[in-house]
Structure 1
Amino acid sequence: MKWRHSLIYLLILALLGGYYYYFEVVQKRKKEESERAKNRLFSVATEAVDEIILEAKDKPALHVLKKDGAWVLDRPVRTEADQSAVDTLVHSLVHLEKNREVDQAAKDMALYGLSEPTLVVRFRSGETWHHIRFGSKNPTEESHYAAKGDENAVFLLAAGSVKALNKGLDELRRRDLLTFEDEEVRGLSVSWADGHRLTLARDEKDKELWRCPEEPERRVKRAKVDNILNQIRWARAKTFLELPAEDSQVWSSGAADVHVILQGGDGPFGEVKIGRKKDDPETTVAWSSQMSSLVTVDGAIVKELPKTVRDVEDRSVVVLDSKNVTRVQYRIRGDKGELVLQDDGSWAYVGADGSRRMIKESWRVRPVFWEWEDLEYEEKAPADAQRPEEQDLHRLEFSTKDGATLTVSWPGANRDESAPTFPLWTGSGEAYLVKGEKIRAIEEKILDVLKRASDKASS
């Protein structure tokens, strides 16, 4: 009969848990939501707001409105708005909550700084306009005095809420130089003032492949093209120069250092020009076909843009899918053994004597493979490059879950550590020259993994 008692106890426990959840969680949440709703200044949904006017003291008024579902700035300049910035502004506005009432019928609004407000916010929802005035801070400076519309009822709002609404022109206008989807881009060109020019086109049959029409025999690495597109996509205005859309006099040499054009199916759809500012080479100025004025940007973007096909060429030493590697046999710096992927996803070390030990922090193994995925050669090694004896080579052999193997080897004993490049041989017999610093870094990562082999034998 014990099972009956256990069932009764479980039932009582379930009832008590349900009681606690309902009254202490659900009801408490409803009460808090009710309190917030009571203190909320406006009963307006964020998506219902169509127009906003910000009138800050001693600043030009800002007028933002929604056109065809997108926010645009109408005053003091007409330009595209930063959609996320305005959405955040709207959210902050419609969710304003009173801290507490101060004076239900204030006779002298100047006492609260509300006769000449520091900020007035007006917004339209449908045909209805709402507005709120913000005055001075309270003695603790944690809140602002405020009043709705033309009312004389004064209340307090958190200073942080007011700060979220008191935005300037540069905080609300669009900052992205170009907006686009990768699928739109069918080609791109990068032209430099020094005469270098690179043109790339997406393959018509395989959209994952990119080619250089001028040098079709060179393989282009997609990751490098993606990096170019990302650099353009992430480029944002730091400040806005109220100058004509394209003023050649603003650049130090009379022209931009680099000009990037994105091509779509029907021709160019986006362009940017970037260069150093005249009389101020530390400042980088950009022009965009999608913006109404010149802007300043982070000059680092120029260093990321390619000049020749070599900058985007696929010079991968090996083609390795690190996710599929299940075993690595190694010979490096006088030690040899293997790393084996176990059923639970961890890695084990197997020594030359057959001993087997767990690898602590097995997550460190995969990054070693990533190094090989990203490794690129400087140039192909000369056909007569002398290969050391096998015992003098460091060697790695990767095995994948589908049974494929990939082997790489490079000088180990008696190599010239000061040499800028080391020859590296693949299992197919090809030889490449790879930066010595890259090889040494990979060796150190491998040795670091091996040091983490536990003394505890794995089962």
Structure 2
Amino acid sequence: MTPRRLLPLLAVFLVLAVSFFTLKWYQERQEQAQQQAKKIFPVKEAEITALTLKKAREEIRLIKKDKEWEIIKPLKSKADPVAVSSLLTTLSFLDKVRDLGEEKDLANFGLSEPALVVEFNAQGKVHKLSLGAKTPGDQGYYVRKDQDPRLLVISAAHQASLDRSLTALRDKVLFDFPWEKVTALRIKTPSAFVDLEKTGPATWRWLGRENFKVRRDRLESLLRLLSMARLKDFVTDDPKDLRPYGLAPQPQAEITLVRDKKEESLYLGRRHDQDFYARLGASGPVVLVEPNLMQKIGESLSKLEDRRLWPGEIGDVHKIVWGTPPQLWTAVKEKNVWKITGPDKQDLSRAPAQMEVALLRFQELEYERLLPDSAPAAKAGNLLLLEDGAGKVLFRLEELGSAEKGLVALRLERGPQPEKALTSQAAYHQWQETLTRLTSPGKER
């Protein structure tokens, strides 16, 4: 086919293409117009600055201040950002299921005395939505917008999203601190007192137990747990007597977080059914918290001591030596690979990820307990040596053989003084299997 004959076909194609995209654009415009026509309030979520819910004798009033929502009536409290955002989203996207036209007799639709009235401010204007009775079949609710005489119907799902209780709108965080900003943690019970203080960007100490090594990652997990903890319900905002809640004369436990010399405390009381009473601060409301909160805190504290055989930084390791002398393997870190040399001049290569996984698994090894200096010496077996890029020894381990049932004795050099420790024999052997797999020719990359 010649180019001259192709020109009419190309022209037809272009006309059809233009017609198709024009029609599609027009249909999209029509759909957008229809969606906008269904919207009850032409507002955006960010434009709403004040909100009031009126139900029977209850009135809940909220205002937006410095980008944060606060409850100012019937009490002053920080609002739950998730609950408020959900409510505002519903208002900004609220659409009518049906428009029943003008209706003078509102009593038949539950709108002479609405069950719920939602008022809000947006761009200097006050809007009102009155919600009345259910529609037949319970699939929707009759509503009235502002002073518009028309009777509208919204879905039951939208009604449920708007009908929020005071409890649902109140902020339920127990501690209003970002966990990474906490500089001290104190936990006090009748039988124990934990007093932790941050001494550096990644270091903590237990005051009064200076030889206790705090495991940072687990402490940070505990702080994240506390920062994410939520109360279940509010019991009373103005308790006259704390004894019925087990909060007086002394609470069962006290948790305090410190940030920039500011403190927030949670006092825990007695059990109530499956939950526990608690109080937010010395003058705050009495609330209910889940029973597993203290259980999780106790579990975290029991694992807080750093018992790792080697707690160093994996990125600092540039050389690893392991095996039973004189049959030693040596791995040296190069640019994009680890070169491994065996006792019989074997030459292997391993990807950095493989070596990092091996070191991570070694970091999982923890000792059961340290042995006294007077413990009898034993002949060394397997050896592990970690060095940095300058040849400085970061860590040295020598196996001293089986000790008690299920435990193996080790000599550790990780500081100014050598130490002896007992660790799980099964976990230690699993780690040795990891090293064995690294020296298998079939694992070469």
Q: Take 2:270 and 2:444, find their aligned partners in 1: how far apart are those partners?
A: 60
- Match runs of 1:51-450 below 5 Å: 51-56=50-55, 60-67=58-65, 69-99=67-97, 101-106=98-103, 108-109=105-106, 112-125=109-122, 127-138=124-135, 141-182=138-179, 185-194=182-191, 196-203=192-199, 206-242=200-236, 244=238, 247-249=241-243, 250-251=245-246, 254-265=249-260, 267-277=261-271, 280=272, 282-289=274-281, 292-305=284-297, 312-323=304-315, 354=346, 366=356, 369-385=359-375, 390=380, 393=382, 406-410=395-399, 418-419=405-406, 421-426=407-412, 430-436=418-424, 440-441=426-427, 443-444=429-430, 447=433
For residues 24 and 435 of structure 1, the distance between their equivalents in structure 2, rounded to whole angstroms, comes to 74
- CA gap 1:87/1:97 in 2 versus in 1, 3 angstroms: same
Q: What percent identity do the matched residue pairs reach?
A: 20
Contact 2:185 2:255 in 1 (8 A): yes
Contact 2:328 2:343 in 1 (8 A): yes
Distance 1:331 1:282, change over 3 A: farther
Partner SS, residue 233 of structure 1:
helix
In structure 2, C-alpha distance between the alignment counterparts of 1:198 and 1:432, rounded to whole Å: 27
Structure 1 Cα separation of the partners of residues 183 and 390 of structure 2: 35
Deviations 1:109-153, CA, capped at 9 Å, x for gaps: 456554554432111235422111334555565544433123332
Q: 1:155 to 1:376 in 2, by over 3 A?
A: same
Question: 1:197–1:307: 8 Å Cα contact kept in structure 2?
Answer: no
Cα distance change of structure 1 residues 39 and 299 upon mapping to structure 2, 3 Å threshold: same
Task: Flag structure 1 segments of 5+ consecutive residues without an equivalent.
Answer: 1-14
SS in 1 for 2:130: strand
Q: TM-score, normalised by structure 2?
A: 0.73
Task: Say if 1:157 and 1:356 are closer, same or farther in 2 by CA, change over 3 A.
Answer: farther
Q: Deviations over 1:12-67 (max 9, x none)?
A: xxx99x989986998876665544333322222323322222234x6833222234
The match for 1:4 is: none
The residue number in structure 2 matching 1:12 is: none
Superimposed CA distance per residue, residues 207-250 of structure 1 (whole angstroms, 9 cap, x where no aligned partner): 54333443445444433443443333222111111153584311
C-alpha distance in structure 2 between counterparts of 1:388 and 1:111, whole Å: 93
Number of equivalenced pairs: 425
Q: Partners of 1:214 and 1:139 in 2: how far apart?
A: 69
Label 1:169 to 1:432 Cα distance change in 2 as closer, same or farther (>3 A).
Answer: farther
1:265-316 CA-to-partner distances (Å, cap 9, x unmatched) read 5x45322211323xx4742122122873111112333244479998744443
Query: Residue 312 of structure 2 aligns to which amino acid in structure 1?
Result: L
Q: Is the 8 A contact 1:144 1:156 kept in 2?
A: yes
Is 1:423–1:432's contact at 8 Å kept on the other side of the alignment?
A: yes
Higher relative contact order (CA 8 A, sep 6+): 1
Superposition RMSD in Å: 4.8
Q: How much does 1:106 deviate?
A: 3.4
Deviation at 1:318, TM superposition (A): 0.7
Query: Closer, same or farther in 2 for the Cα pair 1:454/1:132, shift >3 Å?
Result: farther
Cα deviation, residue 170, structure 1: 1.5
Q: What SS class does the counterpart of residue 255 from structure 1 fall into? A: coil
- Contact 2:215–2:306, Cα closer than 8 Å, also in 1: yes
SS in 2 for 1:244: coil
Distance 1:325 1:244 in 2: 58
Query: Does the 8 Å contact 1:358/1:453 carry over to 2?
Result: no
List runs of 5+ in structure 2 lacking aligned partners: 1-13
Moved more, 78-87 or 30-39: 30-39
Larger Rg: 2
Q: Work out the CA distance in 1 between the residues paired with 2:328 and 2:42.
A: 71
